[in-house]
Structure 1
Amino acid sequence: MKVTILTVVYNGAATIRHCIDSVLGQDYPDIEYIVVDGHSKDGTQEIVQSYGDRIARFVSEPDAGIYDAMNKGIQLATGDVIGILNADDFYAYPSVISDVAAAFAAGDFDASYGDLEYIDANDATVVRRKWVSGAYKVGAFLNGWMPPHPTFFVKKEVYHTHGQFRLDLGSAADYELMLRFVHREKIRLAYIPKVLVKMRAGGVSNSNLKNRIAANRNDRLAWKMNNMEPRFYTLWLKPLRKIIQFI
């Protein structure tokens, strides 16, 4: 099984090398690595190009934002399974992709996911939050559940069948896609009970109250777009679940 890893980046020179090294350091033998850059001006392009043909595809051009870049990468992917690792993130250990491949091989699954740690932006050894996903239960999205998107590996055929990222939902685009795939279309999920990805703290949607309110509005719109109704507490439980991650 070929696994495509996609990294999208814009002006990520400070962290992109750590991200790339964590992909190229994986022990799984059949990885296609694609980097889509939004025409960075800070030296990111030169860093990526320094890896030569160890990166299968490198595209650098203006885009309409992070999810537009992800869609471009999905279109370029030739792997059976696609994983998306942002430029600020890195894989937690060298056999992450081997574990992902084993999870798919263990059953008739459409996607897999695992756990994630938020680390200090300046010190990768300091864990700020731990997102323990737990095994999926039907209807879990109604209780505010979602898997960490950087740990979410999906068969390419699922994107072909059920679509890619919407560009009109801001930072809720990954939530809408997973809501659509998992809750509406009922794809089959495999849970890997390990920390697969480490993410630097400081996400846009949670950076202040104004952004959190905007994210909540877009989360609600994600349900409406899919012709589904959340429960009255669904979209309040979603951010409240994050409090537990600090414990």
Structure 2
Amino acid sequence: MKISVVTAVRNGGDALAQSVQSLCAQTHRDIEHVVQDGGSTDGTLDYLRDHGHPSMALLSQPDTGIYDAINMGISRAQGDIVGLLHADDYLAGPDVLARVTDAFADPDIDGIYGDLEYVSREDANRVIRYWKAGEFAQQRLKRGWMPPHPTLYLRYRVFQKAGLYDTSYRISGDYDSMLRWLTQGRVRLAYIPHVMVRMRIGGTSNKSFAQMLRKSREDYRAIRRHKVGGVGTLVAKNLSKLPQFGARR
């Protein structure tokens, strides 16, 4: 079972090395690393050419934003299964993708997801938040639930049936797409109760108050668009993050 791991990157910086190394260390070997570069100027391309995954498909070209880049990467993917690995994230252990393939042995499963740890940007060993996702149930969407996006792997047929990311979103395109896949697409998910990805804290959505406000507006737009709730769903979605700061594996 071939897994295509898509990385959309522009000026990946020092964190990129740990991301790539975590992918190269996987015990599951049938991997394609689809790297969609947005025109890096910081040495990212040189690093990837010298130290990238043996089965890397690298393309550097302009894009209109992160979701446009991800869409271009997915469109180039050759695998049966597709997941994302951002330059700031890394797989939590060498058996992550082996667990993914084991879960997809069930032909009725369209997608899988697991748990996520947010770690310090300065010290990747220091866990800031632990997101224990739990089992999926349709009614949880109204309470602001979503699978941790960096842990989500989908069969390629999901994108063919239910579409790619909506590039009109600048921050919440992942939330919008997951709601579409889970409502209109009726994607059947399986949960892996293990930390799959560690994500460095400090992404685009919380760089400033203006960005946080824009994210809330885009989240609300997605909630209304897919008819999973209203203001209460948005509030519940944000409040659900608070216990993650005190949670431990």
TM-score by length of 1: 0.96
Q: Which residue of 1 aligns with 2:22?
A: 22
Question: In the alignment, is residue 159 of structure 1 matched against residue 159 of structure 2?
Answer: yes
Question: In the alignment, is residue 234 of structure 1 matched against residue 233 of structure 2?
Answer: yes
Once the 2 structures are TM-superposed, how far is the Cα of residue 77 of structure 1 from its aligned partner? 0.4
1:219–1:35 distance in 2 versus 1, CA, 3 Å: same
Gaps of 5+ in 1: none
Equivalence map 1:133-144=2 (5 Å)? 133-144=133-144
Q: Is the 8 Å Cα contact of residues 13 and 47 (structure 1) preserved in structure 2?
A: no
1:145-194: CA deviation from partner (whole Å, max 9, x where unpaired)? 01111100011010011100111111100000000001332210000000
Distance, in Å, in 1 between the alignment partners of 2:98 and 2:167 is 32
Distance, in Å, in 2 between the alignment partners of 1:211 and 1:166 is 18
Q: Is the 8 Å Cα contact of residues 139 and 183 (structure 1) preserved in structure 2?
A: no
Q: Which residue of 1 aligns with 2:243?
A: 244
Q: Is the 8 Å Cα contact of residues 114 and 195 (structure 2) preserved in structure 1?
A: yes
Once the 2 structures are TM-superposed, how far is the Cα of residue 214 of structure 1 from its aligned partner? 1.2
Gaps of 5+ in 2: none
Once the 2 structures are TM-superposed, how far is the Cα of residue 7 of structure 1 from its aligned partner? 0.9
Q: Which residue of 2 aligns with 1:109?
A: 109
> Aligned AA for 1:93?
G
Q: Is the 8 Å Cα contact of residues 220 and 230 (structure 2) preserved in structure 1?
A: no
> Aligned AA for 2:57?
R
Q: Is the 8 Å Cα contact of residues 141 and 183 (structure 1) preserved in structure 2?
A: no
Distance, in Å, in 2 between the alignment partners of 1:53 and 1:118 is 24
Distance, in Å, in 2 between the alignment partners of 1:102 and 1:13 is 33
SS state at 2:114 partner: strand
SS state at 1:133 partner: coil
- Which of 12-21 and 155-164 deviates more? 12-21
Once the 2 structures are TM-superposed, how far is the Cα of residue 65 of structure 1 from its aligned partner? 1.1
Once the 2 structures are TM-superposed, how far is the Cα of residue 212 of structure 1 from its aligned partner? 2.0
Q: Is the 8 Å Cα contact of residues 223 and 230 (structure 2) preserved in structure 1?
A: no
Equivalence map 1:84-233=2 (5 Å)? 84-106=84-106, 108-226=108-226, 228-233=227-232
In the comparison of the two structures, how many residue pairs are matched? 246
1:7-34: CA deviation from partner (whole Å, max 9, x where unpaired)? 1111112111111111111000211111
Once the 2 structures are TM-superposed, how far is the Cα of residue 53 of structure 1 from its aligned partner? 6.8
Distance, in Å, in 1 between the alignment partners of 2:68 and 2:149 is 16
1:84-125: CA deviation from partner (whole Å, max 9, x where unpaired)? 000000000001000011111145100000000000001011
Q: Is the 8 Å Cα contact of residues 112 and 152 (structure 1) preserved in structure 2?
A: yes
> Aligned AA for 1:194?
H
Distance, in Å, in 1 between the alignment partners of 2:53 and 2:204 is 33
- Which of 34-43 and 53-62 deviates more? 53-62
> Aligned AA for 1:241?
S
SS state at 2:69 partner: helix
Q: Which residue of 1 aligns with 2:80?
A: 80
Distance, in Å, in 2 between the alignment partners of 1:162 and 1:189 is 15
> Aligned AA for 1:89?
D
TM-score by length of 2: 0.95
1:51-75: CA deviation from partner (whole Å, max 9, x where unpaired)? 3671430011111111111001100
SS state at 1:134 partner: coil
